Amino acid sequence: MVQVHQKRRQKEELYTLFAEVGQALANARRLELLDLLMQAPRTVEELAGEAEMSVANTSQHLQRLKQSRLVTSEREGTYIRYRLAHPSVAHLWLALRSVADSQIAEVQQALDAYRNRRHEFEHISAAELRARLEAGEVCLIDARPEVEYAAGHIPGAVSLPLEELERRLDELPRNIPIVAYCRGPYCVTADEALALVANHGLQALRLDEGVTEWQQTWPDGAN
């Protein structure tokens, strides 16, 4: 009987450790920080600016994620740079999103409200994009900030951050469709980029997948 009780305690301890990860994820702002870190390592100040939070609040959320071993940090002079602790953390975030999307109808309603232009542009699959890139039939632009492009991007993509795109539209070819991507299906940046492209008289296509989703399909397929 003593051994049975001991095994029960040991099992509960195991599941308590699992629950720590769930508790760390159970906060919308921390999920946003993980999403940003999935794109590129960043300092506390950079994350605070992107997430529109105070530095103090951002730091508290990062400490909670660090306690659960979801992120790590390193000091760079007077700054502290954070990154995901392991690629499995990104996969966990993608899986959480996928479950919510498939099980909670309100996700699509909220997405329609946020990405209110997402149905304006023809979508292209990752497989079709890869084939058309190899054939030189499309121009692929990465509409994310330069720091995210530098940390990793889809092969063949050109960095054209949204804030630079309007003044650089003349750099785009006019004889082939323009495909844009950003941080994935829950990001509005590529939609806004394609609106500019379409207004410039070019054919605009949307890739919903981001770099991490692309890497899951082709593990060696990102620069």
Domains 2-90 and 117-217 fall in the same CATH topology: no
For the segment(s) 117-217, the CATH number from 3.40.250.10, 3.30.365.10, 3.30.70.260, 1.20.1250.20 is 3.40.250.10
User: Is 139 part of the annotated catalytic residue set?
Assistant: no
**pLDDT tens-place string over residues 140-159:** 999 999 999 999 999 999 99
- Provide the 10 A C-beta neighbour count for residue 37: 24
The residue annotated as part of the active site, out of 36, 47, 124, 182, is 182
pLDDT of residue 154: 96
CATH code assigned to 2-90: 1.10.10.10
Domain ranges of the chain: 2-90, 117-217
pLDDT tens, position by position, for the chain (223 residues)?
A: 667 688 889 999 999 999 999 999 999 999 999 999 999 999 999 999 999 999 999 999 999 999 999 999 999 999 999 999 999 999 999 999 999 999 999 999 999 999 999 999 999 999 999 999 999 999 999 999 999 999 999 999 999 999 999 999 999 999 999 999 999 999 999 999 999 999 999 999 999 999 999 988 877 656 6
CA distance 168 to 21: 43
CA distance 98 to 92: 10
Gyration radius (Cα) of the chain, Å: 20
pLDDT of residue 216: 86
Q: What is the pTM of this model?
A: 0.90
Phi, psi of 118 (to 5 degrees): -70, -20
Name the CA dihedral angle for 156, 158, 162, 166, rounded to a multiple of 10 degrees: -130
